[in-house]
Chains A and B, each alone.
Chain A
Amino acid sequence: MENELFMNAGVSHPPVMTAPSSSSAMLKWVSMETQPVDPSLSRNLFWEKSTEQSIFDSALSSLVSSPTPSNSNFSVGGVGGENVIMRELIGKLGNIGDIYGITASNGNSCYATPMSSPPPGSMMETKTTTPMAELSGDPGFAERAARFSCFGSRSFNSRTNSPFPINNEPPITTNEKMPRVSSSPVFKPLASHVPAGESSGEFSRKRRTKSKQNSPSAVSSSKEIEEKEDSDPKRCKKSEENGDKTKSIDPYKDYIHVRARRGQATDSHSLAERVRREKISERMKLLQDLVPGCNKVTGKALMLDEIINYVQSLQRQVEFLSMKLSSVNTRLDFNMDALLSKDIFPSSNNLMHHQQVLRLDSSAETLLGDHHNKNLQLNPDITSNNIINPLETSDTSRSFIHLPTLAHFSDSISQYSTFSEDDLHSIIHMGFAQNRLQELNQGSSNQVPSHMKAEL
């Protein structure tokens, strides 16, 4: 089969047969590559495009020799169909990414050598022919493969976040693929690429599996793969997902699916970093709304300083108010139990009967004025946790004078969500009233201080 392919390379490519020592490796690769493909189909395709092949090859050669300047040439001169084939070719060849090293923009020197060693022309020829055999019908495959390879190379070369200069323009991406086409066979095992229908999710994981499947040579490339495999388990969390490049929380699995953005590193570390950074910025936006005066401030540092100052100021306020409260408390004693038992706040059902029992005396009304009574009755609609004051039960056990019902107050206090400060004031006044009431009614009580003399 390989021979057939080589023959189909055309009469114009005799140097293919006299390929250098790496040809054996090439053949191996070719065999791997050509397994699933129908050779007849490939041949047909090849013959169809044979006329364009020369243009293709010349462009390739020019590309190989000088990376960046020729890229533009290629894109300009390329025919539409040729581009498609080329993309597919490159897609097949190249999820390797190691080939990427040739582009000037990246400047990774470690991959420059394979380019130089074999004669560019012959290499290209063989490369171009063999992938032709495996044209898959996947339209977007090439782009995805390109992305894979580009990202892969970056991760292989350096695990840092060096900015990847891929643009979103298709011609340039195809151009960048060009050097890959002509790379040495060392990277071929990696080219056992993505099957057509597979989504371009986490390429690294795919590569890992592929490398396991494909035994052969690939010395340096396999090492790189292992490197990827050994990377931290966080990678396992990121699985493939078809869709946009945002994070989504999968309800079925516990993983957060992250898709590598185009033009960015797909190293698991950098992916995780990016996710984390996005999380943090999201929360910072949330905080920005909470802290007053943070809208004008831009930049994380200043905003964080603002937030810290705000928290500190709030805590200081609490301390100051507690000091004030303690001083107030010494001067005025008031019965908190009564305050609570009146159920000023929406309370649980347990307190309801307390409300019914504890009613203000008419005398209290005369003391405080009618307007206070309005705030007495409450609707125990909402339950809050643990509001039962054990002391209140003891209150109910005592005999209370009959107080007018507070039912008629309920309408005024229907909205407890709008607990205004006025209510609180009145409640406090009521607390005092209750206190006095209890004093009057019960004489001595272990709760009511005997020295309560404060007048409201």
Chain B
Amino acid sequence: MASADKLINTYVPEKDVFALHFLQSLSNLRTQNPLNSPDKSIDRVRKIKKAAYVSMARAAGGTSRLWSRALLRRAAKDDNKSVRFSRRKRKVTWKISSKRKRSNQRAPVVEEAAERLRNLVPGGGGMETSKLMEETAHYIKCLSMQVKVMQCLVDGLSPK
């Protein structure tokens, strides 16, 4: 499998990069919301979750990965901000139906699973199945890293 990794780059930086980004975003959260946090807990949760995803996307590869790009865009759209891409923008909302028309011989088993994956992985709607799998692999790695970081944080912060 090592050879496959060389062809398909699924490099993910170390845990600390993720942790750094996450903590940064959390601190920003704290500065944004004044201290007594008048908003309800659900909003807090949502904000923290969003911060987690955004920081993960930034840590994992910024705009060089399709899923991270889509994630950041989604987040920026919610906040009515604009995302600046370092490279040329890729059309993430590309319709894949045109590709499908060309041949009806795509394995239906794979395709239906790919549909479900597309709903899960950010930015999956515009990807071809093989590209989707690549992005999924990277996404899984980053997600697991983020989960580890958050787990550590929670363990550290919870009262002994």
A-side interface residues toward B, CB under 8 Å? 161, 232, 269, 272-273, 276-277, 279-280, 282-287, 289-291, 300-301, 304-305, 307-308, 310-312, 314-315, 317-319, 321-337, 339-340, 344-347, 384-387, 389, 391, 416-417, 419, 421, 424-425, 427-429, 447, 449, 451
Contact = CB atoms under 8 A, between A and B. Distances in A.
Q: Report the interface size class on chain B.
A: 35 or more
22 contacts: A273-B103, A282-B8, A283-B8, A286-B8, A286-B10, A286-B133, A286-B134, A311-B143, A318-B146, A318-B147, A323-B48, A324-B154, A328-B158, A329-B157, A330-B37, A336-B24, A339-B27, A385-B58, A386-B58, A416-B16, A427-B156, A428-B153
B24 A311 contact: no
A146 to B, nearest CB: 27
B17 interface: yes
Contacts of B58: 385-386
B120 A286 contact: no
B152 interface: yes
Nearest to B128: A276
Nearest to B135: A283
Contact of A340 (B27, B35, B157): B27
Interface string B28-53: 00110001010001001100110011
A410 B127 CA distance: 46
A421 to B, nearest CB: 5
B45 A326 contact: yes
Q: Dominant SS at the B interface?
A: helix
Q: Dominant SS at the A interface?
A: helix
Contact of B140 (A269, A280, A282, A290): A290
Contacts of A290: 10, 137, 140-141
Nearest to A336: B27
B114 to A, nearest CB: 8
A308 to B, nearest CB: 5
B35 A387 contact: no
B49 A385 contact: no
Nearest to A345: B16
**Which of B1, B23, B121, B151 is the most central at the interface, judged by chain A CB atoms within 10 Å of its CB?**
B23
A332 B49 contact: no
Contacts of B1: 285-286, 289
Contacts of B15: 419
Contacts of B114: 304
Given A318-B147, A329-B44, A428-B156, A387 B24 contact: yes
B158 A311 contact: no
